[in-house]
A = this chain, B = another copy of it.
Amino acid sequence: MSGLTQDNRPHVVIVGAGFGGLEAAKALGGESVRVTVVDKRNHHLFQPLLYQVAMAGLSPAEIAIPIRSVLGKHANIEVLLGEVTEIDLDDQTVHLADGDYLAFDYLLIAVGAQNSYFGHDKAWAPHAPGLKSIEDALEIRRRVLLAFERAERELDPDERQRLLTFVVIGGGPTGVELAGALSELARRVLADDFKRIEAKDVRVLLAEGADRILLPFDPELSKKGAEQLEDLGVELVLGKQVTDIDADGVTIGDERVEAATVVWSAGVKPHPLAKRLGTPLDDRGRVIVGQDCAVEGYPNVFAVGDVARFTTPDGGVLPGVSPVAMQQARYVADAIVRRTPRAERRPFTYLDKGMMATIGRSRAVAQTGKLRMSGLVAWIGWLVIHLWYLVGFKNRVFVLMQWVFSYVVYRRGARLITDQSQRSTTSSGS
């Protein structure tokens, strides 16, 4: 690939087009470098709204955008759909699954994280999908809607209750958002659609190992968030670890909960590429980077976002949230554009603008600096910020319309059960 063009500009390879990779590519657009962005998928995904796809509030196309359409206007950027299997730091090459390779002058590793089931990946993952991709979200949607379909016809009361019990594991922002949206979907939309199911039949549990939800938030906001969730009918199970997940339900501490639908939001681990770099990793498997986001010994190789461990001068570790990835990406792009030698790079500093989590359709908690907000005001702030950062003008308009629509009439448009295995041309028909 790299031999295709005669070009003296340095070649920057960006692996991963999530928040970090896309931000870096945008910052390098039009600069005097050649950029190749490699991703296994053809789209950038706005993960903060992925729970809405899982809960049938949004369609995939509303929170995802083709990488080519974001970066297409820059003549110096190429986009490549492919899976990176190996990175050879000594040879300065990136190897793809199809046998092709790319030689780089600069490398940015921005491959993110994936679900981690406390060492039980194989046993638990099939029963408790996480929420990392569009396919995951559609699978969760399918499971939730199918559970209602089956419950509607089930005559055995125990099995019926199991079908109507939903467990979300992990009380971070994503788990809270999922549990809140799930309870609303189940009680206000689906209980209407299904004639034999009433809102009171539905149980939604949110299990968190710590003694409060939204751990990174101020305890006051955790309490507000918990109250808002309970208002929506979510049962909180705090201070207990999940010890088992199987096809019939979960065991939380020593309590068994029979549940047909379990969603995992309790932990992530870095993408497996981190391990294959051969550079030092932290205890969670993240690539340890210096104050310039570069990897030890390789001043032209950077890692940003969830796959990197960045230790601040005061000894803290930057959290796995999108603003960290995006700010690091812009910092790295700047260092590349200026060709700054390692010794002269000023340290990266993270500007923490705060954090927020939404709980149902008009409630949220938010904190920024010393400011604490909850309820409708926080929700409006959440909506504005999320629309702002959603890539693509059209997507913003459509998502806003979906929200206005579901706010007014309380319906979910995307309650579709789809399943690739049911293509009519390969099965017995419609």
Contact = CB atoms under 8 A, between A and B. Distances in A.
Contacts of A112: 430
Interface stretch (A58-66, A221-229, A252-260, A317-325): A58-66
A423 B135 contact: yes
Contact of A194 (B68, B413, B418): B68
Interface stretch (A124-132, A209-217, A345-353, A363-371): A124-132
Given A149-B81, A394-B405, A416-B60, A425 B69 contact: no
A136 B423 contact: yes
Contacts of A397: 401
Contacts of A8: none
Contact of A133 (B62, B132, B430): B430
A343 interface: no
A418 B192 CA distance: 31
A41 interface: yes
Given A135-B420, A394-B413, A430 B61 contact: no
B139 A430 contact: no
Given A62-B59, A134-B416, A429 B114 contact: yes
Interface string A368-382: 000000000000000
**Oligomeric state, in number of copies?**
2
A133 B426 CA distance: 11
A138 interface: yes
Nearest to A68: B193
A69 B411 contact: yes
Contacts of A132: 424-425, 429-430
The 8 closest A-B pairs by CB, nearest first: A114-B429, A420-B420, A61-B414, A59-B59, A68-B193, A132-B424, A81-B149, A135-B423
Given A59-B414, A133-B423, A392-B413, 17 more contacts: A41-B422, A42-B416, A60-B414, A61-B413, A68-B193, A80-B152, A125-B425, A129-B423, A130-B425, A132-B424, A138-B420, A139-B423, A264-B425, A271-B430, A394-B411, A394-B413, A419-B420
